[in-house]
Amino acid sequence: MHEHEVDLLCLQECDASDLPDVVGGLQMATATKENRLGLAMYYRRDRFDMVRADSFSLKKSLHDRVLTPAHERLIGVKLLDLETDHELVAGSFHAAPLTASNSLRRKQIDAAHAELLEMGTGQATLMVGDFNYPFFTQRLTEHMNDAGYDLSLSDRRTYTRYMVFRGHFDFATSRGLKIQKVETLPRGGSDHLPILVLADYLAPNDQLPTADE
């Protein structure tokens, strides 16, 4: 984190009850309260003012109903960028596991985007996390484009522990942003490799995609 000087830090599958309020120059915005697989987000205090933070439950899979690993699968934070005066809505997302269908995960992604749009104007939205979608990602890319979002995969696979499940699990979806790069970083304490997303705001004359286009 210190090496890359991140402005936002999104965590999934964390023990939210054991997280500090401040990590370096990053302030915790919010964290889930009821999840065994927790979510949290930190932001750089000298870059952003936090306007609002919330957590959301999404459509449950059978795995969720039986084992209850994650009551809330999305946290959203509305931020004011002090450097540019832009409003940014960021989300940390954790989709249902591979025991669920891709169709269910697409519904969760759509619902998560809808919740984030409700938090802001829709001009700049970024959602990152574990999408649990290593197969048929081209179908997901087309689905995201139809909905007015870009889907960005990292430069290398983010899960490599088991041969059958190797692939890109951790993505970024965005609206009103230009994603410069998504880089897979070296493994830390998680079984997923972290990703680093580099993004810029769209210029005023750039066309913001809509679902009708």
Using CA atoms, how far apart are residues 175 and 125, in angstroms rounded to an integer? 5
Residue 44 has pLDDT above 80, yes or no: yes
Residue 37 has pLDDT above 80, yes or no: no
DSSP 22-33: EETTEEEEEE-S
Under the banding of pLDDT at 50, 70 and 90, the label for residue 203 is confident
Query: What own/partner pairs with CB < 8 Å and gap ≥ 24 does 25-30 have?
Result: 26/1, 29/53, 29/75, 29/77, 30/54, 30/55, 30/75, 30/77
Query: Quick check: is 69 in a domain?
Result: yes
Average pLDDT score over the chain: 84
Using CA atoms, how far apart are residues 106 and 199, in angstroms rounded to an integer? 23
Q: What three-state secondary structure class fits 49?
A: strand
Percent of the chain surpassing pLDDT 70: 81
Instruction: Supply φ then ψ for residue 163, to 5 degrees.
Output: -55, -45
Other Cβ atoms less than 10 A from the Cβ of 206: the count is 10
Q: Which domain holds residue 152?
A: 45-201
Query: Quick check: is 62 in a domain?
Result: yes
Query: Quick check: is 60 in a domain?
Result: yes
Single-letter code of the amino acid located at 199: A
Query: Quick check: is 149 in a domain?
Result: yes
Query: Quick check: is 3 in a domain?
Result: no
Residues with Cβ within 8 Å of 106's Cβ and at least 6 positions away in sequence, in order, are 140, 143
Query: Quick check: is 130 in a domain?
Result: yes
What is the average per-residue pLDDT within 129-143? 88
Predicted structure pTM score: 0.86
Using CA atoms, how far apart are residues 6 and 196, in angstroms rounded to an integer? 8
Query: Quick check: is 141 in a domain?
Result: yes
Residue 63 has pLDDT above 70, yes or no: no
Task: List pLDDT tens digits, range 102-131.
Answer: 999 999 999 999 999 999 887 899 999 988
Task: List pLDDT tens digits, range 150-167.
Answer: 999 887 875 666 544 556
Under the banding of pLDDT at 50, 70 and 90, the label for residue 148 is very high
Percent of the chain surpassing pLDDT 90: 52
Contact 198, 185 (CB under 8 A): no
Which range has the worst mean pLDDT, 17-21, 63-67, 73-77?
63-67
Instruction: Supply φ then ψ for residue 128, to 5 degrees.
Output: -130, 155
Using CA atoms, how far apart are residues 166 and 160, in angstroms rounded to an integer? 5
| CA distances for 119 relative to 6, 54, 123, 138, angstroms | 23, 9, 11, 28
Domain total for the chain?
A: 1
Residue 157 maps to which CATH number?
3.60.10.10
Query: Quick check: is 33 in a domain?
Result: no
